[in-house]
Amino acid sequence: MKRGTLMVDDETALGKRILEILGEYEEVELENVTLEAEELVFKVIPGMFAAALPPAARARIPAALIEQKFEPPVETYPGEIVEVQFGATRAEGGSRKKVVKIGGEKAPAFYRFEFMNPNRPVVTFDVFDMPISLPKPIVEHFEDVMEDPADWAKKAINEFGADLVTVHLISTDPYIKNTPAKEAAKVIEDVLQAVDTPILIGGSGNPDKDPEVLEAAAAVSEGERLMLNSASLNLDWKRIVEAAKKHGHNVLSWTQLDVNNQKKLNKLIMEAGMPRSRIVQDATTAALGYGLEYSFSIYERIRLSALRGDADLQMPLSSGTTNAWGAREAFMSDKKKGTEWGLQRFRGPIWEAITALSLSLVGCDVFMMLHPASVQIFKTFVEYLSSPRKEEVPPLLNWVTARV
């Protein structure tokens, strides 16, 4: 680097001279200079100063890194999420070999730097009590078992790693098959025989028939600590809560994208005598591309309020993630949309997987899902996030030279 020393003999020429020097040298030091002036005006000639900037700039870069320490911004929360158990062992009055626990969080989801939450989010596969029309990528995996809910449940658990299954008794809908409640309840017995994990029980969504159907199903699975899906404000939820209380089950408190309604229903269910440790809440899952942002923010608000101490919202959260398959991006075939949207083999599962992923990041605990590939990547994600810190950091910057 060249160095120059500026000797000033003519004050008026100072500005000009500095610029000349800057153009010539990379660094300028002023020695023994006294400036006597009321106001110094530097007249900058366009172009000249720009040409002069780089060397001057280089001088400004510190010689060494300004070392800093990053303080992890850790917080504590006054509230915590209630732990809920699905399934009861023989000792607990049921017949399940496995039980599944959710909830118990003391920090927001996957804030491992604050607290490693005790239970991971779990996946429950949807099983239906009659063959129904499902998108092709799902049917491919289940067509051999769709006639038999017990086989369907077994396959979901043994082959695809389901933590739980939800048996939807949709044939009970008066507009579908109108299967009598007692007959539908037998399906629950069959599935309980076939698998040793806990199960969840869904109705058909018909508000007039569901209370009766869930009552019958609750009665045949006395003491198994299953979950009845669901108590909601548009039906006689009290009957469902009573059935859960009487036969030792959990209950799902389901509302539609409204924090206040969720709080209200949770409160009503608790006032009806249901213990907090047997309630799970579902604020409704809108699919990726179809209002996911509402679910995302509502789940996030519920969870943050709970951790900040709102006892009416401290139940674990559940998501009907399979709604993602109602999105045309998920169900439309390659023949129709492949050239525009890419392969359905990936497009469908990623739609469901991202719907689950986004809600898991804001605190959801239970995910009702359908496709083995979406379940697999989601479960891997959860496992990776729930594992302890590794000292060794992989050489991540090598991505720059990866020849792909």
Partner 1 sequence: MARLKPLDIYNYLPKTNCGECGLESCMAFAYKLIEHELEVKDCKPLATDPKLKKAFEDLKELVTPPVRPVKFGGDGNEVTIGGEEVMYRHELTYFNPTAIAVCVHDEMTEEELIRNVKLISEWTVFRVGAHLCLDAVAVKSVSRDPVKFAKAVKLVADNTKYPLILCSLDPSCLKAGVEAVKNRRPLLYAATRDNWREVAEIALNSGCPVVVASPGDLDTLKSLAATLSSVGIQVALDPGTAWGEGVLADTIDSFTMLRRAAIERGDKNVGWPLVGVPATLWIGKEEASEGEKLETAFKETFLAAALICRYADLLIINSKELWTFLALTTLRQNIYTDPRIHPAVEAGLFAVGSPNEDSPVMITTNYASTAFVVRSDLEQSKIDAWLVIIDTGGIGVESSAAGGQLNAAKMAEALSEYKVAEKVRHRAVIIPGLAARFAGELEDASGWDVYVGPKDSGSIPDFLKSKYRPRDGLRYVGDPDGKSSVVLVTNNIKDFYRVKMPLRNAGISAWILVVDADGLPVSEAVKEKKLTGETVKALMQREDVEKKVDHRELVVPEEAATLKEEIEKATGWKVTVVPCEKLAEKLKK
Nearer to partner 1, 40 or 402 (CB): 402
- Write down the least CB distance from residue 192 to partner 1, Å: 27
Q: Could you say which of 57, 76, 91, 335 contacts partner 1 (CB under 8 A)?
A: 57
Give a three-class secondary structure readout of 129-153. Answer: CCCCCCCHHHHHHHCCCCCCHHHHH
- Write down the least CB distance from residue 288 to partner 1, Å: 6
- Write down the least CB distance from residue 322 to partner 1, Å: 12
Asked if 401 interacts with partner 1 (CB under 8 A), we say yes
Asked if 111 interacts with partner 1 (CB under 8 A), we say yes
CB atoms near residue 17 (< 10 Å): 15
Residues 279-338 that bind partner 1 (CB under 8 A): 284, 286, 288-294, 296-297, 300-301, 304, 323, 326, 328-329, 331-332
SS3 259: helix
Asked if 38 interacts with partner 1 (CB under 8 A), we say no
Asked if 141 interacts with partner 1 (CB under 8 A), we say no
Residues 184-213 that bind partner 1 (CB under 8 A): 205-206
20-27, long-range: CB within 8 Å, 24+ apart, which pairs?
A: 22/49, 22/52, 22/55, 22/56, 23/48, 23/51, 23/52, 25/55, 26/1, 26/2, 26/55, 26/58, 26/59, 27/1, 27/2, 27/3, 27/55, 27/56, 27/59
Number of residues that bind partner 1 (CB under 8 A): 87
Residues 214-243 that bind partner 1 (CB under 8 A): 232-234
Helices (H) and strands (E) in the chain, counts: 13, 12
Asked if 46 interacts with partner 1 (CB under 8 A), we say no
Nearer to partner 1, 190 or 310 (CB): 310
Asked if 115 interacts with partner 1 (CB under 8 A), we say no
Full strand arrangement of the beta sheet holding 279-282: 279-282, 250-254, 227-232, 199-202, 164-168, 122-128, 366-369, 318-319
Asked if 107 interacts with partner 1 (CB under 8 A), we say no
